[in-house]
Each structure stands twice: as structure tokens, then as C-alpha cells.
A and B are shown apart, each in its own frame.
Chain A
Amino acid sequence: MGKMLGNLGNKLLNLLWGTQTRKVWTSIVVILLVLSLAIRFIYPVPPPHVALSGEPILSTSPRWFTNSLLMTVIVDIVLLALALATRFSLKEVPSGLQNAMEAIVETLYGLAESVAGKNAAKFFPWAATLFLLIIVSNWSGLIPGVGSIGYYHPAEIHGEQRVPADQELKDESTGEPHSRVLTNQLAMADGKLILVDLAAVQAAPAAAEEEGHGKFVPLLRAPSADLNMTFALALATMVMVQVWGVRFLGGGYFRKFFNFSGPNTFMKSINAFVGILELISEISRILSFGFRLFGNIFAGEIVLATMAFLVAFLVPVPFYMLEVFVGFVQALVFMMLALVFFQMASISHGTHDEHHA
């Protein structure tokens, strides 16, 4: 065991310090790591920007024109462009783009078939659209610059941003340049993340507007890190579940929710109660659909921002890989769940056995 460990250590040493080029690269990496750690003590960095919802891009623009809406439009354009480019260059013998698209669609169809069986062709368009849209929006948040490039709105004074007055005295006593204190506190004020000295904020707007500083608003934001988008998808999917239920079973589909049949009064009341439970579960599915996607992607963004804030070099890389994986899995889960719900809606309680056979 000890020999093995020693062997491993030698190998590692050789990998990092073996040749002249390796020595150079290792030193560069170590120096950058130390620098990225040390720079926080020399120049304090504002903590990451955290906002629970999308924010209007321009301070003058309407409230609905948010950064996540802009990114949604970009994602849509990318998807449409890919689809149209494939559509208008279809060939007998596929190559390049068409090959990739065919592979994706075939894999998705295989998945749909494994869940929905002979109904796969009917459910496939909706499920595949969901998957492609969600995976591209999840990964769009990982593009460097999304969420970090933006500009400062003129500072606003929020009622809750208040800190005891002795804070100001402390800042005076450190003897830092006054303008730097102001910019730092304003930069930290975004997204209500940090409480800011009210006196400083009140003094700030004039200075802030001169320098173009204030509340930081990123230009782009991953669509699925906005609750509006994920809830819209969840609602639309659950409406489609009802639509498929009615299409397959007719009006009898609603017997699932309003069921008063039974041999005696006891069974009738039990069935009525089960119907109420079904209704509640339908609503809770909307909630869990929406929150699952939003929570995963938004939490991932916060993790990445925090890691980049703590150590800006090399440390965020494994988390990036994790987020790529999470983005894929969440898109897959959304699609599979939609398929399962479609399939469940398409079979009535009486035909369970016939369907499985």
C-alpha cells in the first residue's frame, strides 16, 4: 500500500514537474491561483449579484422587458435557426448538421417510445420541443458573460436598506478615499443582497449618476432561472395533459376528478374524496414542475457565482461541469415527466390491465 502511494506520488510529481514545459505551466497555474486568492485582500470584490426574478434591462423600459425575456428570444432564435437550417438542406445521405439533428431526434424518439409505447408519435412533438427548449435555456446560462455583463442603473433608495449609523463613522475612520467607499457600497447594494448604510445611499445618487453606477442589472439571464418561464412551461404542459386526456377518453376523462359512483354510500364518498385528491395532485404537479426546474438552474447559477467570487481561477471548473450535467438531467426529467403524465392521462382506470398486456 505504501509503495503504491509512493508510486502514485512519483507519477504526480512527474506529471506536474517532469519537463521544462510542465514546470512552466504548473508555476503559471499556481501563481494565478495564489493571485486570485490574494487579490481579494488587496482589492475587495463585491459579492455576486443575486436577484430572484428577472429585472427590466433599461430603467426606462417597461417592466416586462426583462433580461430573461431577451435571453428567451435569443434561445428561440437559435433553435428556430437550427431547425430551419436543417429543414432546408435535407439530403438523402445526411452529413454534418443533419446527422447531428437526426441523432438527437432519434434518441429522443426512442426515449418517448420507451415511456409512451404506441402513443409516442402523438406525444413526441410536445415532449421533444420541451426538451430542446429547456436544455438550450439551461445551458445558455453557462455561457461566459450571461449574467455577468450588464450595466448599472441609477441608484434607488429602498426602504429596507438600513444599517446602524456607526457604520459610517467606521468608514470615515479607516480613511479610505470617499468615492471608493461609495462605489463599493453601491455595488454591494444590488439585488438587496447586502444592507447598505442609508446615509451613504442618500448621498450617493448624484455621485452615482455621474459615474454611471448604481443597481447592477445583467443584460442576459438564463430563461429557466426565471420562475415566469418555468411556470409557463409547467402550466402549458399540465393543460396539454388535460387535452390529451379528453382526446383519448372523451368526457369520461373528467370522471377521474368527479367520481360519485360506487355500490354503497361509503364507497361513493370514498370515490368523491379520491377525486378531490386527484385534483390537488394535478395542481401540485404544476408547482413541482415549475419549482424543480427553476430551483435547480437558479441554485446552480448562485453556486457558480459564489465559487467565482471565492476563488476566481480553476476552482469553478468542476462546478461548471456539474451544472452542464444538471442542465441536461433537468431537461430530461421535464420531458420524461411530461410523457408519463400524458400517458397516464390517456388511459382510464378501467383499461389498465389491457394496456400493460
Chain B
Amino acid sequence: MLRYTLRRLAYSLPVMVIASFILFWAVRATFDPLAKLRQSTDPGALHRQTELLGLDRSVPEQYLLWMKAFVTGDWGTSTRTGGAVLPMIGSALEVTLQLMFWGVLFAAVIALGIGIYSAARQYSAGDYVLTGLSYVGIAMPAFWLGLVLIQVLAVWPRQQFGLSEPPLYFVGLHSVGRTGINLDYFRHLALPVVTLTVGLVASWSRFSRTAMLDALASDYVRTARAKGVPRRRILFRHALRNALAPFVTVVALDAAALVGGLVVTEQIYAIPGMGRLFLSSILAGDVFVLIPWMLVVAVAVIVFNLLADVTYALLDPRVALR
């Protein structure tokens, strides 16, 4: 397993190099790192910055310079804030990972539960209701759902019951002056996590239902039934374990996309994560944040893919990791 993991990581390196060059080239081609200086009153500013950043060199040369600095931990300086990029992305990533952790955890458990129920009771009233709800969930855009949840779960109860404060908060991850994992944190976290979870459950539940139905239609399940194995045991011991493998793959791949994909949720709830960092950087044309940001997201995709493969092998002994 370890050898396989190391080999996969080694294979990932050339992919990362190619991806990073394409990203570097694409961002350089679409953004002007010197835009802020174009109207400078200092006639030498443009020239100095061009030299400092090596912008007078070819794109491959610029890339090599940047990559050399990147691997040594020098991720550059944001043109927007003047701050170092590494801690900026690190802090945003930490926040997004918190949101992702809770969102993916709840969504996976709920989606799996729905999938098992729907598959076990295919075409029942409950199955139809859950299927319908999942389509509603898929159709609801995050920005709309977020605002509705705020209104229904925070604003309305406060107004309706004359509370001094809303039961759930929705600005940031902590109240002013508060830190750490405590009740205040969870009161802030609840709404963004629900927003995230609803979308994930909607699509994952469809997938888990299908995977469970496939498993339940398998010969080994039919054999188990013929042998008189209890229904519960068939569901959880035989079918679920086989259905889990493809489900985990989907979860891992979707989770990777969440690293950079929570723009709307973070924007609505004023959470300073990766999505919000991306938005502010792209609006400001801050190439020195955008390139490493994209690379971090690309790394996340590779890591989560690897995780999916390893988990698949752990869940299904028939899959040999070589």
C-alpha cells in the first residue's frame, strides 16, 4: 500500500509540473501583473517592477523562476495586499477545510442513508419522495438556498419570537472577539454547512441509491438470499460494502472540487476561505495569488484522487494496488 501510494505520488509530479505550467501560462496570458502600475506617477516604477518580477523574460523562464521560488516556500507577494501569499492561502485553506470536513461528513452519512433506504424500498412512496427531494436539492442554487436558510432559520425566528439574537449566526465563523471550537463556532457553522450539505446530499444520494441497487441485483446477493441470509445482513454486510467503493470515489472527487469551489457559500456567509480569496484575487487581477491558489486546488484534486483509489482498495479486496 505504501509503495503504491509513493508511486502514485511520484506519477503525480509530472502531472503537477505540466498543470502548473499551463496554469502559469494561462494566468500570465490573461492578467497583467503590472496593471496597478500602468498609471503610476513614478516613471521608473513599471521598469523596476518588470525587472524585479522577471517579466521581460520568456514565459518558460518566468515559470522556472517562479517554480524555483515556489518549491522553496517563497510563494511571492500579493499585489493586492502586499502580504506574503503562502500564509494567505494557508489561512484560507484552513477555513475551507473546516467547512468541507463538516459538510462532507454530514452529506456522506445522510446520502448513504438515503441511498440504502431508497434501494431497499425501491419504488415505494418514501423512495419517490426522497428522489423528488433530491431533484429539488440539485436544482437549488447555493446562493438562493443560503439566503432562504438565513431568513428561515435565523432572521425569522428572532423576529417571530422576539429573541435578543438569532438562534444561528451567518457572518463569519465566530462572533467578534471569539475564537476556538465552542457553541459560538457551531452556531456560525450550522447554516453554511447545511447549505453545502443539501447540495451534496442531493447528488450523492442518487449515486448511492444506484450503487446499492447494482449491488442488490448482483449474483452474490441473490445467492445470499437463496441461502437465507437475513435481509439486514445482506444490506449492510454484502451490498453496502460493495456499493461503498464507487460511492467513496465520487465523494473524494467531489470533495476535491470543493477546495476551490465554495465561492458562493463563503461569499454569502462572509467566510474567509479559498473561494472568497479566489474571488477577491481575480477581481483585483492578483496573479501572484491566483497561480499558487490554482496549484493548491490542483494538488487537492490529485490528493483526493489518490485517497479515492486507496480507499477503494481498502473497501474492495479484489482491487489490487500495484
Asked if A and B are interacting partners, one says: no
Residues of chain A having any CB pair with chain B under 8 Å: none
